[in-house]
Structure 1
């Protein structure tokens, strides 16, 4: 693709200029074809990274039990993991803005390798807790979102980010099944060795194929001129500054609260599946696989089509309204068949709100701070994992499963009214 060819029309030249990206190392142009190649590589690497993640998640409870941890102590272990992820997400985003997404992804995958290596030698409880420490830098999925955000125009961003849901589904299915099989046949530590190898492979691929700086020229100039880039990666003031930009806090709060009841319910699902639905471990696993497939379909095939036809505001309001219907369904739910029906709109709303709010928020901040904003967005799930077990356990023991439905209905009904009143987002279209 030659931008200087005289046979090209003016319209083609404008389009090429809009979608051109730059590689910092060689200071040469990376055209849209190269950008698509980098995105495809990013999908592959993310699928491998998430497979490694879910591989070790499946064996940690068995390893903890073999080392003598009870349910309360295992809860502490999970809380530490959630808190570290929560604290590390904004820092990781600012690191990516200042040093490039390749450096950030390399840090993430090396941290993953260290985490899984420490897990593989965890023959005591202190070592098991120590193995959680590198997770503060483990943010492969947000890193992939940063690459895709930099390499796509706002019009194509929703479809590209949505396809990461395919990687997430692949990670759940392959990681969970492979981890269980390897642990059964070769011992509980063997999946950790495989996960270490997988993360090191991701590191090599990123160093070879991902440009040092994926932001296009205009954004690179913004980075050099931005005062925030001269500040420390750990500068809390700059993170607070982003949250105070017009429209950012409103959308972020919608992102947090709309999916909070569902997130808490999913955290408690392992207990609910046994106590309420009466499922055994195998049946519960099949149900989780069903949910993973639904997420792959929604994020990989549905969201991109919807964003090409409807505005962000319309999709946001529709998703919140569907969540209200999900809440009613959860109140009336009495068996696993009902849940299989309810989970489809639940996954749709959960996935759509996640993708749409990420897009709105990255368009609401300066181009030099999109990584930091995505890092802040990535802190929502660790926040839910941190507070979810306490809130969910109390609600479930006190009020039963129906309380999750009532909270889903009330929270999202209030958010729908808030959206109508505040007119969020304030701007439509491709403003980034």
Structure 2
């Protein structure tokens, strides 16, 4: 029996709180790791290897986590994610060598709270309001970015990296309790037990690959990877850019990330929902890709952090619209029983970018400088925009 609207809304609001807490703790860790790595003797290349390790781990875990959520329910999936986060932060607190810093990344294979939250929102929101609901989840991301960056920067500056990691571990334990209290075992309309019996195991790659055969999925997924690669490389390398190019300290970097969060909150909370009610998703996707190309050109010409703060506004707009619209389009292209797996695949795109991003980003940074990130983003997104424009025109002609 489908739960009433009031119950659905209560679950969605609880999901927003859990997602905001998880993102807060994640960004608190972002304020710790680069500076801890530097203290342990990491250079740009080795920090890139560290980021690549995380990307590979989450790339492998993303689709499996999504399929696990489809088969066994939202509560079980988010509980595993929260438990993994507790272990992750405790290992970070214990990291006092290069080996330990790499080992503490292993629990990240299970840390997929945001895709899990997206699955709940996709399951419980009407199809026509899905993009707006996912955008509101992005609002939680902005809140977490502000709170986590400020908290992490302040705690690590005043009390050190270990204390910050312990605080994050306690926060993850609180997140686990919230999941157990407010998230139901299953949020899908179909019978989960029957689905488990008929769909094979969690590790059935055939079932995961099957989703790519639905109409429009392969094209949208390819656009998500290709168009998102340049900005993904820049995001992966941003902590190094902030530290070396902009010469920011941990607390200053926290303030800058908080500014990112404020901008994203406004865009995701007040802009995207209104735009999705007025314009088609295809039009918004084209807008995001075109603007991303222009943002890349602006990034290439940026020479100081003050100028960069102006570029942040269109950058966050294009990123937010692009991620929300592609996720919405992909979940609508597959059956409701497979939205978790699809969102796990979407999360794996980000993991893929984090996997190849540090290697590509480290090479570009050392060889061609910061401006190269912007020029590549401009070129790639301009090409994708042109391809989609020609593709749509050909469809209209036929």
TM-score in terms of structure 2 length: 0.91
Following superposition, the deviation at residue 392 of structure 1 comes to: 1.8
Matches within 5 A, 1:171-250: 171-216=144-189, 220-221=190-191, 224=194, 229-250=198-219
- 1:166 matched to 2:139? The reply is yes
Of the two, which has the highest radius of gyration? Answer: 1
State the match for 1:323 in structure 2.
Answer: 292
- 1:303 matched to 2:276? The reply is no
Matches within 5 A, 1:249-398: 249-273=218-242, 276-277=245-246, 282-398=251-367
> In 1, Cα distance between the equivalents of 2:157 and 2:389?
53
Asked if structure 2 preserves the Cα contact closer than 8 Å seen for 1:222 and 1:367, the reply is no
State the match for 1:5 in structure 2.
Answer: none
Q: State which of 23, 33, 44 in structure 2 corresponds to 1:50.
A: 23
Following superposition, the deviation at residue 310 of structure 1 comes to: 0.6
State the SS of the aligned residue for 1:320.
helix
Matches within 5 A, 1:4-43: 22=1, 29-43=2-16
> In 2, Cα distance between the equivalents of 1:194 and 1:275?
28
State the match for 2:73 in structure 1.
Answer: 100
> In 2, Cα distance between the equivalents of 1:409 and 1:271?
21
Asked if structure 2 preserves the Cα contact closer than 8 Å seen for 1:315 and 1:352, the reply is yes
> In 2, Cα distance between the equivalents of 1:358 and 1:116?
29
> In 2, Cα distance between the equivalents of 1:71 and 1:130?
19
Asked if structure 2 preserves the Cα contact closer than 8 Å seen for 1:223 and 1:368, the reply is no
**Structure showing greater relative contact order (alpha-carbon pairs closer than 8 Å, 6 or more residues apart):** 2
State the SS of the aligned residue for 1:308.
helix
State the match for 1:4 in structure 2.
Answer: none
Asked if structure 1 preserves the Cα contact closer than 8 Å seen for 2:220 and 2:326, the reply is yes
State the SS of the aligned residue for 1:411.
helix
Count of residues in Structure 1 that have an aligned counterpart in Structure 2? 395
State the SS of the aligned residue for 1:189.
helix
Following superposition, the deviation at residue 357 of structure 1 comes to: 0.5
> In 2, Cα distance between the equivalents of 1:51 and 1:397?
31
> In 2, Cα distance between the equivalents of 1:183 and 1:276?
21
- 1:80 matched to 2:49? The reply is no
> In 2, Cα distance between the equivalents of 1:68 and 1:400?
22
Deviations 1:23-70 (A, max 9, x none): xxxxxx421111111111111111111112222232233444555555
> In 2, Cα distance between the equivalents of 1:319 and 1:159?
16
Range moving further from structure 2, 380-389 or 298-307: 380-389
Asked if structure 2 preserves the Cα contact closer than 8 Å seen for 1:321 and 1:413, the reply is yes
Asked if structure 2 preserves the Cα contact closer than 8 Å seen for 1:226 and 1:368, the reply is no
Asked if structure 2 preserves the Cα contact closer than 8 Å seen for 1:159 and 1:304, the reply is yes
Deviations 1:309-328 (A, max 9, x none): 11111111111121222233
- Structure with the higher helix share, 1 or 2: 2
Structure 2 gaps, min length 5:
none
State the match for 1:117 in structure 2.
Answer: 90
TM-score in terms of structure 1 length: 0.84
> In 2, Cα distance between the equivalents of 1:141 and 1:317?
25
> In 2, Cα distance between the equivalents of 1:321 and 1:65?
37
> In 2, Cα distance between the equivalents of 1:331 and 1:31?
51
Residue 395 to residue 355, structure 1, CA distance change in 2 (3 Å): same
- 1:411 matched to 2:380? The reply is yes
> In 1, Cα distance between the equivalents of 2:77 and 2:369?
43
Structure 1 gaps, min length 5:
1-21, 23-28, 427-432
> In 2, Cα distance between the equivalents of 1:32 and 1:46?
21
State the SS of the aligned residue for 2:161.
coil
> In 1, Cα distance between the equivalents of 2:305 and 2:153?
24
Deviations 1:72-112 (A, max 9, x none): 44433322122111110000000000001111001110111
Deviations 1:295-319 (A, max 9, x none): 1111121111100111111111111
